[in-house]
Structure 1
Amino acid sequence: MAKRYLFYISENYAFQILRPMQDEIHKRGDTVAWFVEGNNVNREYFQPFEQQLANIQAVIDYQPLAVFIPGNMIPSFIPGLKVCVRHGFIGFKTRVKDGLNYSFIIRDCFDLHCTHGPSMTDTFKQLEQQHQHFKVVETGFCKMDPFFNTSATVHKKDDRPVVLFSSTFSPRMSQAEALLPTIQRLSQDTKWRWLVTFHPKMAQSTVSAYKAAQHENLTFIETDNAMPLMLEADLMLGDNSSMLVEFLMLNKPVVTVKNEHPKPHLINVTDPLKIENSIEYALTRPEELMGKIADYGAQTHPYQDGQSSARILDATEDMLTNPPNLKKKPLNLIRRFKMRKKLGYWQW
């Protein structure tokens, strides 16, 4: 009998994250349905064969064995083992009040946390021991599977290097608006071709400004799948976006502007006038820099076999078959009430 799984999503980036898992689920002869929370998802991104559940009652009736979430929270009343697959690598954003990295905030929603590599796993294993109401398994990031698939192809218009610019949506950390004049100036030189894409939550005014700035050598792309852009690009220009970490996993250089936590595997500048020379240098792929990128990749996401989705499903099935002895989660009554109110679901 086919197993039933659920994808619980609230943002457009979920499609690129979960579709490799959908492929693996179908490969095993099992089924998966999608549920959309809120209004941020563009439903036109759904493929005709993808099953959507219209409301919470339909989700309850579906009775999934497990629910996969590329986000931070899920209501406790959704049936099934709750599996956090994460929506990105360890980011740069920290909570203002205590400096805690948002990647490591425990919201008491999940039964299983699937981590991407040692740098994430080590901290989550400590949190597992501290809280004792969830399990942690290192699996790799399902979103990265297609990047390491031998069938992934790169389509380039010409032989010029391609620079991909992306920025975080956080107003406090984004350099998108400040860098627009610089990118407009640099893109007038035809030595590089420029691609620009942003997080779905980027301010519409910023998106509109970059769309208006487009010309033959500068293209803005709105998409639910940035993989083709990342494969095509030779270098990424960014600030504090988690997308630049994904780009580094492809063994490609990144130049950042005013990164809040600059590291040796990044070329970080604080003066936009230094961007051009930094890009020129990074495109030579200097040995020392590329070695630091390789070391960072080994700690962040050592899996290049394209099998992270399979490992997530294996970890899920193992937990369902051999349930660990875990403590009960904290009630968090206020959070539970807010989730019910948000979804308009009051049945018990």
Structure 2
Amino acid sequence: MKRYLLFATTLYALPILRPIARAIAAAGDESAWSVSPALRNYMNADEQVLRDLDQIKAFAPHAVLSASNWVPHFFPGIKVQVFHGFNVNKREPGRGHFRIRGLFDLYCTQGPATTQPFQLLARQHRHFAVVETGWPKLDPLFNARTERTRLAAANGRKVCMYAATFTRNLSSAHALYDEIARQVAYGEHYWLLTLHPKVKPNLVAKYRALAGPNAQFFEAPDLTSMLSAADVLVSDTSSVVSEFMVQRKPVVTFRNRAPKAYMIDIQQPQQLAAALRDALDPSPQLIREIEHGAQQTHPYRDGASSERVLAAIADFEKSSLGQLESKPLNLLRKLQGRINYRRWLSESMRA
């Protein structure tokens, strides 16, 4: 029996790693979790949580899967990066999605748009491998057994989803509030609204107050039901844009930092109504751009990315162990990792 450790530091990591846990169980293997103290209350009763390094060493995972930018280097096992989101160009390449921190042995990429840059980096650095697997978070969205969510409350209206990034200088939450409130009151479409949990409470309260006959507000960390139910997404420079678009659905973005051809990008709130009309009646050119964007970002629609991640780990063990160069020392980063982990342990003992 193989053992896998799932490493989560933030709430959004759970819907990424849970499909992998289900795939591990289906294969007859065992998984356990190492999570920050803030996540302990979100864990299910059947999820084994290891509380300290001694328990982790006793569990002896042969692989550690991280949905964070880092992983404790002192954990036993192969270190596997499965990513906390898509690359949406929020930062410069050296600081964002393609930053190499010297902590991971294997990168499981989402599609050609991420695979090719990481393959170039792998040839440059020589201390990690890259395998394109698709993103486990999307497995429930594309699982053949999962039908599209239908909303009785929409009463046949088109469904618009709104989600904004938390990054302050890129967020549309303030700028679009009045226009979205007007759209909700008008009632031509049905709205599904959500905001990042770190958004200021007063702004969250304003959007939550829009709930009624024409809108629902969601606070769940897993947005799968929203992504499935909506016909169009309104957002900004959030990774949810890619999560939505790979369903081959249109997106309207507000001042996106790096707008793509598959987006309908607007600069002013009053342009939203016209953009929604274009999105809900897409031109043949827009449909082609969405298809191309989906193929580059995440071409997999079989709901089996988690299984491909496990297969990639098995192949890595057979072919790559002993062939990679040593990781850089990165003493400062490793020290920071130990400090973070010790802080977790202290917080756990106080809880």
> Fold-level match, TM-score > 0.5?
yes
- Which whole-Å deviations, capped at 9, do the CAs of 1:79-120 have from their partners, x for residues lacking one? 11000011111122114xxx6461101111100001111111
Q: Which runs of 5+ in 1 are unaligned?
A: none
1:31 and 2:30 matched: yes
CA drift at 1:71 = 1.2
Match of 2:150? Answer: 155
CA drift at 1:256 = 0.5
- Which whole-Å deviations, capped at 9, do the CAs of 1:257-289 have from their partners, x for residues lacking one? 111111110000001101011101210132211
Q: Which runs of 5+ in 2 are unaligned?
A: 344-351
Match of 1:228? Answer: 225
Residue range with higher mean Cα deviation, 239-248 or 177-186: 177-186
Match of 1:217? Answer: 214
Aligned ranges 1:68-79 → 2 under 5 Å: 68-79=65-76
Residue range with higher mean Cα deviation, 244-253 or 197-206: 197-206
CA drift at 1:48 = 1.7
Say which SS state the counterpart of residue 172 (structure 1) adopts: helix
Say which SS state the counterpart of residue 103 (structure 1) adopts: coil
Distance across 1 between alignment mates of 2:210 and 2:302: 39
Q: Tell whether the 8 Å contact from 1:8 to 1:68 is kept in structure 2 after alignment.
A: yes
- What amino acid does structure 2 have at the position aligned with 1:316? I
- What amino acid does structure 2 have at the position aligned with 1:146? P
CA drift at 1:215 = 2.9
CA drift at 1:10 = 0.8
CA drift at 1:324 = 4.5
Match of 1:107? Answer: 101
1:299 and 2:296 matched: yes
* TM-score, normalised with respect to structure 1: 0.94
Residues 61 and 155 (structure 1), Cα distance of their counterparts in 2 relative to 1, 3 Å cut: same
Match of 1:325? Answer: 323
- What amino acid does structure 2 have at the position aligned with 1:342? N
Distance across 2 between alignment mates of 1:186 and 1:29: 50
Aligned ranges 1:24-63 → 2 under 5 Å: 24-39=23-38, 41=39, 43-63=40-60
Distance across 2 between alignment mates of 1:91 and 1:57: 38
RMSD, matched Cα = 1.8
CA drift at 1:58 = 1.8
Q: Percent identity?
A: 37
Distance across 2 between alignment mates of 1:335 and 1:136: 22
Match of 2:269? Answer: 272
How many residue pairs were aligned?
A: 341
CA drift at 1:162 = 0.7
- Which whole-Å deviations, capped at 9, do the CAs of 1:11-37 have from their partners, x for residues lacking one? 111121111111110111001011112
Match of 1:121? Answer: 115
1:285 and 2:298 matched: no
Say which SS state the counterpart of residue 188 (structure 1) adopts: helix
